[in-house]
Amino acid sequence: MQPRAKVRLARALWIAWAVIVWNVVFDHVIVVAGRSYIHAAGLAAGRSRPDGRSLVLMDDYMRPAVTRGVWIASAAAGLILLTGLVTIRFGSKERPR
């Protein structure tokens, strides 16, 4: 395999890894928020308000989780991508003989 093809393959793999990590981290943040919502809704169901209803809004849990998830996932993926591309940049330079 030619050196340029190896560099392109390495870049593609680092990019793929960053995309996969972004998806996994974002999904994890959303799942944790969903579990928090279910827990809060369960607690609220056990309590009664003066009108006899219990109310926990899903938006109060999920909307901030989406924003938080995008930021955390982007930071994680960006760090991986930066590390990979910098490593490829310095690792692929020709060395004097």
Give the type of residue at 11: R
Q: What integer pLDDT is reported at residue 97 of this predicted model?
A: 55
Give the mean pLDDT of the chain.
Answer: 89
Q: Is residue 93 scored above 60 in pLDDT?
A: yes
Band of pLDDT at residue 16, cut at 50, 70 and 90:
very high
Question: How open is the CA angle 42-48-49, to the nearest 5 degrees?
Answer: 120
| 8 Å CB contact between 29 and 68 | yes
- Whole-prediction pTM: 0.82
pLDDT digits (tens, 9 = 90+) for 48-92: 666 656 688 899 999 999 999 999 999 999 999 999 999 998 888
Q: What integer pLDDT is reported at residue 46 of this predicted model?
A: 76
Cα distances from 68 to residues 4, 21, 28, 32, 44, in angstroms, run 38, 15, 11, 11, 24
